[in-house]
Amino acid sequence: MEDHHLSKEQLYQLFAKLASALANPHRLEMLDLLIQAPRTVEDLAQEAHMGIANTSQHLQRLKQANLVVDERQGLFIRYRLADPAVARLWHELRGVAELQLAEVDRALGDYRPRRHDFPKISVDELQERMGKQGVLLLDVRPAVEFQAGHLPGAVSIPLDQLEQRLGELPQGKLIVAYCRGPYCVFADQALELLAGQGRNVARLEEGVAEWRFAGNPLER
């Protein structure tokens, strides 16, 4: 009976190993970034505003838990999620946190202070209106993320290029901006700029992960 209990404890220790790898805000941010596109250590360090050595240490913890894998491409080593289930795990963790922790909504309000300032459009409404023209879907994530996968029909103008490329956007259309999902501020900043230019705008809260979880295909 004691051996049986020890075996069960070993099983739960493996689950705890996975949970321990997730129990760090920097590593969760890295998973969120890798959902968008594979990246090198240097890319992740720049996006997460961390040192390369620290970033590498966090990636090794994620790799030891089989949450990410690395692949050599020429001179570079890129990291990606080990399985789509890792993205679903992160998505479910966020959902539980939203339900159980009131602080999540307050923290999101601090991070996205203008999240209620612009009209929102649902996935169903977007798909219906895209079929009837009159809508431009704007992806304001970095170009590498757009190339890895984007919503069908989307046009890529990264946020840091938007002000210089406003002339590329047609007049008279509803411009729907999206980025990495509901925990990303890029689309809010894009809509603030566009609304200041008198454009008709709306935000799609969902990003590529949420789009895919709903069973919709991506373009590459």
Q: What is the pLDDT of residues 200-220, one digit of tens each?
A: 999 999 999 999 999 999 998
Q: Which amino acid is at 114?
A: R
Which run of H or E residues covers position 71?
strand 68-73
Q: What is 123-174 written as a DSSP string?
A: HHHHHHHHHTS-EEEEE-S-HHHHHH-B-TT-EE--HHHHGGGGGGSPTTSE
Q: In which band, very low, low, confident or very high, does the pLDDT at 4 lie, cut at 50, 70 and 90?
A: low
Per-residue tokens: 189: 């900043």
Q: What is the pLDDT of residues 151-197, one digit of tens each?
A: 999 999 999 999 999 999 999 999 999 999 999 999 999 999 999 99
Kindly list the distances between the CA atom of residue 147 and the CA atoms of 25, 38, 151, in Å, as whole numbers in the listed order.
26, 11, 11
Q: What CATH architecture is 2-91?
A: Orthogonal Bundle (1.10)
- What CA–CA distance (Å, rounded) separates 69 from 85? 14
Per-residue tokens: 186: 């890029």
Residues 6 or more apart whose CB falls under 8 angstroms from that of 189 comprise 140, 159
Residues 6 or more apart whose CB falls under 8 angstroms from that of 39 comprise 33, 47, 78, 79, 144
Question: Is residue 127 within 8 Å of residue 194, measured between CB atoms?
Answer: no
Domain parsing of the chain, residue ranges: 2-91, 112-213
- Does this chain's domain 2-91 share its CATH topology with 112-213? no
Does domain 112-213 sit in CATH 3.40.250.10? yes
- Give the predicted TM-score (pTM) of the model: 0.92
- Tell whether the model's pLDDT for residue 108 goes beyond 70: yes
- What CA–CA distance (Å, rounded) separates 95 from 93? 5
- What CA–CA distance (Å, rounded) separates 43 from 168? 28
Pick from 155, 211, 157: nearest CA to 182? 211
Q: Which of 137, 159, 179, 202 is catalytic?
A: 179
Q: Which of 5-9, 83-87, 102-106, 193-197 has the least mean pLDDT?
A: 5-9
Q: What is the pLDDT of residues 43-62, one digit of tens each?
A: 999 999 999 999 999 999 99
The yes-or-no answer on residue 179 being catalytic is: yes
- Does 134 or 146 have the greater pLDDT score? 146
